[in-house]
Amino acid sequence: MDESEAIVELLEDLLGDHGLHYPNRGQISFNCPVCDDERNKHNLEVNYFSNVFKCWSCGDNEGTHGSLGKLFDKYGNKKLKKLYNILKPETIQVKEKRVPKLKLPEGYKKFSEVNKIYPVRKQAINYLYNRGISDDVIEKYQIGFCDVGDHNGRIIIPSYNKKGELNYYISRSWDPNSRYKYKNPQTEKDKIVFWENMIDWDKDIYLVEGAFDGIFLPNSIPMLGKHMSELLFETIYNNAKGDIIICLDADAWDNATKLYHELNGGSMYGRIKIIKLPDDKDTADLRGQVDEYYYKMRG
Protein backbone atom coordinates (compact mmCIF):
# COMPACT_ATOMS: atom_id res chain seq x y z
CA MET A 1 0.00 0.00 0.00
CA ASP A 2 1.44 3.36 -0.95
CA GLU A 3 1.30 6.58 1.01
CA SER A 4 -1.72 7.94 -0.84
CA GLU A 5 -3.77 4.83 -0.15
CA ALA A 6 -2.79 5.03 3.49
CA ILE A 7 -3.88 8.65 3.80
CA VAL A 8 -7.17 7.91 2.05
CA GLU A 9 -7.81 5.09 4.49
CA LEU A 10 -7.03 7.37 7.40
CA LEU A 11 -9.36 10.05 6.03
CA GLU A 12 -12.11 7.45 5.74
CA ASP A 13 -11.59 6.51 9.37
CA LEU A 14 -12.05 10.18 10.20
CA LEU A 15 -14.86 11.20 7.84
CA GLY A 16 -16.53 8.04 6.56
CA ASP A 17 -16.81 6.87 2.97
CA HIS A 18 -15.49 9.19 0.32
CA GLY A 19 -17.24 10.66 -2.73
CA LEU A 20 -15.38 11.58 -5.89
CA HIS A 21 -11.68 10.76 -5.88
CA TYR A 22 -9.01 11.86 -8.35
CA PRO A 23 -5.87 10.01 -7.26
CA ASN A 24 -3.68 11.69 -9.87
CA ARG A 25 -4.33 15.10 -8.31
CA GLY A 26 -4.83 13.95 -4.74
CA GLN A 27 -8.37 15.34 -4.69
CA ILE A 28 -11.11 13.55 -2.76
CA SER A 29 -14.46 14.55 -1.28
CA PHE A 30 -16.24 13.56 1.94
CA ASN A 31 -19.32 14.44 3.92
CA CYS A 32 -18.63 17.51 6.02
CA PRO A 33 -18.55 16.72 9.75
CA VAL A 34 -20.12 20.12 10.47
CA CYS A 35 -22.90 20.65 7.97
CA ASP A 36 -23.72 17.42 6.18
CA ASP A 37 -26.37 16.12 8.62
CA GLU A 38 -26.60 12.78 6.83
CA ARG A 39 -27.56 14.42 3.54
CA ASN A 40 -24.57 12.69 1.89
CA LYS A 41 -23.52 15.84 -0.04
CA HIS A 42 -19.76 15.26 -0.08
CA ASN A 43 -19.13 18.99 0.18
CA LEU A 44 -15.84 18.65 2.01
CA GLU A 45 -12.97 18.52 -0.44
CA VAL A 46 -9.57 17.32 0.61
CA ASN A 47 -6.37 17.61 -1.34
CA TYR A 48 -3.85 15.25 0.17
CA PHE A 49 -1.07 16.40 -2.16
CA SER A 50 -1.22 19.96 -0.87
CA ASN A 51 -2.56 18.87 2.57
CA VAL A 52 -5.57 21.15 2.64
CA PHE A 53 -9.32 20.79 3.05
CA LYS A 54 -12.36 22.95 2.56
CA CYS A 55 -16.10 22.54 2.87
CA TRP A 56 -17.69 24.29 -0.08
CA SER A 57 -20.90 24.72 1.83
CA CYS A 58 -19.89 25.92 5.28
CA GLY A 59 -16.15 26.56 4.92
CA ASP A 60 -16.38 30.33 4.96
CA ASN A 61 -18.96 30.57 7.74
CA GLU A 62 -17.78 27.80 10.02
CA GLY A 63 -14.04 27.91 9.36
CA THR A 64 -14.10 24.39 7.95
CA HIS A 65 -11.01 24.85 5.82
CA GLY A 66 -7.28 24.81 6.32
CA SER A 67 -4.51 22.31 6.73
CA LEU A 68 -5.17 18.59 7.02
CA GLY A 69 -3.42 18.73 10.39
CA LYS A 70 -6.18 21.05 11.60
CA LEU A 71 -8.84 18.67 10.26
CA PHE A 72 -7.39 15.82 12.29
CA ASP A 73 -6.90 18.07 15.33
CA LYS A 74 -10.50 19.20 15.29
CA TYR A 75 -12.36 16.06 14.35
CA GLY A 76 -10.00 13.17 15.01
CA ASN A 77 -9.34 11.20 18.13
CA LYS A 78 -5.88 10.73 19.62
CA LYS A 79 -5.13 7.62 17.64
CA LEU A 80 -6.03 9.14 14.28
CA LYS A 81 -4.01 12.28 14.98
CA LYS A 82 -1.01 10.20 15.88
CA LEU A 83 -1.31 8.14 12.71
CA TYR A 84 -1.67 11.28 10.62
CA ASN A 85 1.45 12.80 12.14
CA ILE A 86 3.42 9.69 11.26
CA LEU A 87 2.05 9.59 7.75
CA LYS A 88 2.01 13.24 6.77
CA PRO A 89 4.56 14.24 4.20
CA GLU A 90 7.50 16.29 5.35
CA THR A 91 6.64 19.94 5.36
CA ILE A 92 8.96 21.42 2.86
CA GLN A 93 10.34 24.80 3.79
CA VAL A 94 10.53 26.56 0.50
CA LYS A 95 12.79 29.55 0.75
CA GLU A 96 11.62 32.54 -1.21
CA LYS A 97 13.81 32.46 -4.23
CA ARG A 98 14.74 35.84 -5.59
CA VAL A 99 13.57 35.62 -9.15
CA PRO A 100 14.36 38.64 -11.26
CA LYS A 101 11.23 40.43 -12.38
CA LEU A 102 10.06 39.35 -15.80
CA LYS A 103 10.42 42.03 -18.44
CA LEU A 104 9.05 42.33 -21.93
CA PRO A 105 11.67 41.31 -24.50
CA GLU A 106 14.09 43.86 -25.82
CA GLY A 107 12.61 45.95 -28.59
CA TYR A 108 8.96 45.23 -27.75
CA LYS A 109 6.77 47.86 -29.36
CA LYS A 110 3.06 48.39 -29.47
CA PHE A 111 1.69 48.70 -32.99
CA SER A 112 0.09 52.01 -32.09
CA GLU A 113 3.50 53.48 -31.28
CA VAL A 114 5.09 52.73 -34.64
CA ASN A 115 4.64 54.44 -37.99
CA LYS A 116 2.34 52.43 -40.25
CA ILE A 117 4.72 52.58 -43.19
CA TYR A 118 7.56 50.88 -41.28
CA PRO A 119 8.09 47.62 -43.26
CA VAL A 120 8.72 45.40 -40.21
CA ARG A 121 5.52 46.64 -38.65
CA LYS A 122 3.71 45.80 -41.88
CA GLN A 123 5.02 42.23 -41.86
CA ALA A 124 4.02 41.79 -38.25
CA ILE A 125 0.55 43.25 -38.55
CA ASN A 126 -0.19 41.40 -41.77
CA TYR A 127 0.57 38.17 -39.94
CA LEU A 128 -2.02 39.11 -37.33
CA TYR A 129 -4.58 40.26 -39.90
CA ASN A 130 -4.18 36.97 -41.76
CA ARG A 131 -5.03 35.17 -38.55
CA GLY A 132 -8.17 37.24 -38.23
CA ILE A 133 -6.89 39.43 -35.43
CA SER A 134 -8.28 42.94 -35.58
CA ASP A 135 -6.88 46.29 -34.47
CA ASP A 136 -9.29 46.32 -31.51
CA VAL A 137 -8.01 42.97 -30.29
CA ILE A 138 -4.41 44.08 -30.76
CA GLU A 139 -5.12 47.14 -28.64
CA LYS A 140 -7.10 45.27 -25.99
CA TYR A 141 -4.38 42.68 -25.36
CA GLN A 142 -1.46 45.07 -25.91
CA ILE A 143 -0.12 42.79 -28.61
CA GLY A 144 3.19 44.08 -29.91
CA PHE A 145 6.23 43.00 -31.89
CA CYS A 146 10.01 43.00 -31.74
CA ASP A 147 12.29 44.22 -34.50
CA VAL A 148 15.62 43.83 -32.68
CA GLY A 149 17.31 41.51 -30.19
CA ASP A 150 16.61 37.87 -29.29
CA HIS A 151 12.95 38.20 -30.14
CA ASN A 152 13.40 39.96 -33.44
CA GLY A 153 10.66 38.91 -35.87
CA ARG A 154 8.20 37.87 -33.20
CA ILE A 155 4.72 38.89 -32.13
CA ILE A 156 4.50 39.44 -28.37
CA ILE A 157 1.35 38.83 -26.34
CA PRO A 158 1.92 39.96 -22.76
CA SER A 159 0.11 38.70 -19.67
CA TYR A 160 -0.24 40.57 -16.39
CA ASN A 161 -1.20 39.36 -12.93
CA LYS A 162 -3.92 40.93 -10.82
CA LYS A 163 -1.45 43.48 -9.48
CA GLY A 164 -0.70 44.55 -13.03
CA GLU A 165 2.79 43.01 -13.09
CA LEU A 166 3.98 41.17 -16.16
CA ASN A 167 3.78 37.43 -15.35
CA TYR A 168 4.30 35.87 -18.80
CA TYR A 169 4.35 36.58 -22.50
CA ILE A 170 3.85 34.59 -25.68
CA SER A 171 6.42 35.22 -28.37
CA ARG A 172 5.41 33.87 -31.78
CA SER A 173 7.50 34.12 -34.92
CA TRP A 174 5.69 35.49 -37.95
CA ASP A 175 8.23 33.95 -40.30
CA PRO A 176 6.88 30.54 -41.47
CA ASN A 177 10.46 29.31 -41.89
CA SER A 178 11.50 30.15 -38.36
CA ARG A 179 13.04 27.21 -36.53
CA TYR A 180 11.21 27.90 -33.31
CA LYS A 181 7.64 29.03 -33.61
CA TYR A 182 7.54 30.07 -29.97
CA LYS A 183 10.15 31.52 -27.68
CA ASN A 184 8.45 32.00 -24.36
CA PRO A 185 10.01 33.00 -21.02
CA GLN A 186 11.51 30.54 -18.52
CA THR A 187 8.80 31.35 -16.00
CA GLU A 188 7.05 28.19 -14.85
CA LYS A 189 3.68 28.15 -16.58
CA ASP A 190 1.97 26.47 -13.66
CA LYS A 191 2.90 29.31 -11.31
CA ILE A 192 0.94 31.98 -13.15
CA VAL A 193 -2.58 32.69 -14.34
CA PHE A 194 -2.47 34.06 -17.87
CA TRP A 195 -4.25 37.40 -18.37
CA GLU A 196 -5.16 37.34 -14.68
CA ASN A 197 -5.70 41.11 -14.64
CA MET A 198 -8.31 40.86 -17.40
CA ILE A 199 -10.50 38.10 -15.98
CA ASP A 200 -13.99 39.11 -14.91
CA TRP A 201 -14.80 36.52 -12.27
CA ASP A 202 -18.50 37.41 -12.29
CA LYS A 203 -18.88 36.41 -15.92
CA ASP A 204 -18.63 33.10 -17.75
CA ILE A 205 -15.06 32.05 -18.45
CA TYR A 206 -13.67 30.15 -21.42
CA LEU A 207 -10.75 27.80 -20.82
CA VAL A 208 -8.55 27.46 -23.88
CA GLU A 209 -5.13 26.04 -24.73
CA GLY A 210 -3.27 29.03 -26.09
CA ALA A 211 -3.30 32.80 -26.19
CA PHE A 212 -4.07 32.80 -29.93
CA ASP A 213 -7.27 30.85 -29.13
CA GLY A 214 -8.09 33.01 -26.16
CA ILE A 215 -8.10 36.31 -28.01
CA PHE A 216 -11.12 35.14 -30.02
CA LEU A 217 -13.30 34.40 -26.99
CA PRO A 218 -14.52 36.86 -24.39
CA ASN A 219 -13.15 36.47 -20.87
CA SER A 220 -10.89 33.51 -21.58
CA ILE A 221 -7.97 31.94 -19.74
CA PRO A 222 -5.30 30.22 -21.82
CA MET A 223 -3.88 27.24 -19.89
CA LEU A 224 -0.74 27.37 -22.07
CA GLY A 225 -1.18 23.69 -22.84
CA LYS A 226 -3.69 20.89 -22.47
CA HIS A 227 -3.40 20.57 -18.69
CA MET A 228 -4.66 22.74 -15.90
CA SER A 229 -2.25 23.70 -13.16
CA GLU A 230 -3.13 23.28 -9.50
CA LEU A 231 -2.89 27.06 -9.12
CA LEU A 232 -5.38 27.73 -11.91
CA PHE A 233 -7.72 25.06 -10.56
CA GLU A 234 -7.69 26.64 -7.10
CA THR A 235 -7.99 30.17 -8.48
CA ILE A 236 -11.02 29.26 -10.56
CA TYR A 237 -12.59 27.29 -7.75
CA ASN A 238 -12.25 30.18 -5.34
CA ASN A 239 -13.23 33.04 -7.64
CA ALA A 240 -15.43 32.03 -10.56
CA LYS A 241 -19.08 32.98 -10.10
CA GLY A 242 -20.35 32.17 -13.60
CA ASP A 243 -20.04 29.15 -15.85
CA ILE A 244 -16.76 27.63 -17.00
CA ILE A 245 -16.68 26.66 -20.65
CA ILE A 246 -13.94 24.22 -21.63
CA CYS A 247 -12.84 24.74 -25.22
CA LEU A 248 -9.70 22.77 -26.06
CA ASP A 249 -8.50 21.55 -29.46
CA ALA A 250 -10.10 18.39 -30.84
CA ASP A 251 -6.95 16.32 -30.17
CA ALA A 252 -7.31 17.14 -26.47
CA TRP A 253 -10.84 15.76 -26.06
CA ASP A 254 -9.67 13.31 -23.39
CA ASN A 255 -8.00 16.13 -21.48
CA ALA A 256 -11.12 18.23 -21.86
CA THR A 257 -13.50 15.59 -20.48
CA LYS A 258 -11.14 14.83 -17.63
CA LEU A 259 -11.02 18.52 -16.81
CA TYR A 260 -14.81 18.66 -16.98
CA HIS A 261 -15.13 16.01 -14.31
CA GLU A 262 -12.45 17.54 -12.12
CA LEU A 263 -14.10 20.94 -12.17
CA ASN A 264 -17.68 19.71 -11.94
CA GLY A 265 -17.80 19.19 -8.20
CA GLY A 266 -18.34 21.00 -4.94
CA SER A 267 -19.53 24.56 -5.42
CA MET A 268 -18.84 24.35 -9.16
CA TYR A 269 -21.25 21.50 -9.73
CA GLY A 270 -23.54 22.13 -12.71
CA ARG A 271 -21.61 25.19 -13.90
CA ILE A 272 -19.18 23.45 -16.26
CA LYS A 273 -19.80 23.34 -20.00
CA ILE A 274 -17.77 21.76 -22.71
CA ILE A 275 -17.23 22.42 -26.40
CA LYS A 276 -16.23 19.65 -28.82
CA LEU A 277 -14.49 21.23 -31.78
CA PRO A 278 -14.26 19.48 -35.16
CA ASP A 279 -11.04 17.61 -35.83
CA ASP A 280 -9.57 20.06 -38.30
CA LYS A 281 -10.40 23.39 -36.65
CA ASP A 282 -9.26 25.05 -33.46
CA THR A 283 -10.73 28.13 -31.80
CA ALA A 284 -8.37 30.41 -33.67
CA ASP A 285 -9.28 28.84 -37.05
CA LEU A 286 -12.94 29.33 -36.23
CA ARG A 287 -12.29 32.94 -35.13
CA GLY A 288 -14.11 32.13 -31.90
CA GLN A 289 -17.33 30.98 -33.64
CA VAL A 290 -17.70 27.93 -31.40
CA ASP A 291 -21.33 28.18 -30.25
CA GLU A 292 -22.59 25.34 -32.42
CA TYR A 293 -20.13 22.87 -30.89
CA TYR A 294 -21.42 22.69 -27.32
CA TYR A 295 -21.45 19.07 -26.19
CA LYS A 296 -23.90 17.60 -23.73
CA MET A 297 -22.03 15.56 -21.14
CA ARG A 298 -23.81 12.71 -19.46
CA GLY A 299 -23.63 12.21 -15.74
Minimum CB distance to Zn ion, residue 268 (Å): 16
Q: Which residues does 233 contact at the CB level (< 8 Å), separation at least 6? A: 25, 262, 263
Q: By three-state DSSP, how is residue 296 classified?
A: coil
Q: CB-wise, 41 or 273, nearer to Zn ion? A: 41
Q: CB-wise, 31 or 264, nearer to Zn ion? A: 31
Is the Cβ–Cβ distance between 33 and 50 less than 8 Å?
A: no
Buried b (16+ CB within 10 A) or exposed e, 196-215: beebeeeebbbbbbbbbbbb
Minimum CB distance to Zn ion, residue 42 (Å): 10
Q: CB-wise, 20 or 250, nearer to Zn ion? A: 20
Q: By three-state DSSP, how is residue 45 classified?
A: strand
Q: CB-wise, 59 or 158, nearer to Zn ion? A: 59
Minimum CB distance to Zn ion, residue 33 (Å): 8
Q: Which residues does 24 contact at the CB level (< 8 Å), separation at least 6? A: none
Minimum CB distance to Zn ion, residue 63 (Å): 10
Q: What are phi and psi of 136, to 5 degrees?
A: -60, -45
Q: CB-wise, 31 or 171, nearer to Zn ion? A: 31
Is the Cβ–Cβ distance between 276 and 293 less than 8 Å?
A: yes
Minimum CB distance to Zn ion, residue 31 (Å): 9
Q: Which residues does 70 contact at the CB level (< 8 Å), separation at least 6? A: none
**Chain-centre distance of CA 257, in angstroms?**
15
Q: CB-wise, 46 or 55, nearer to Zn ion? A: 55
Binding footprint of Zn ion on the chain (CB under 5 A): 32, 34-35, 55, 57-58, 64
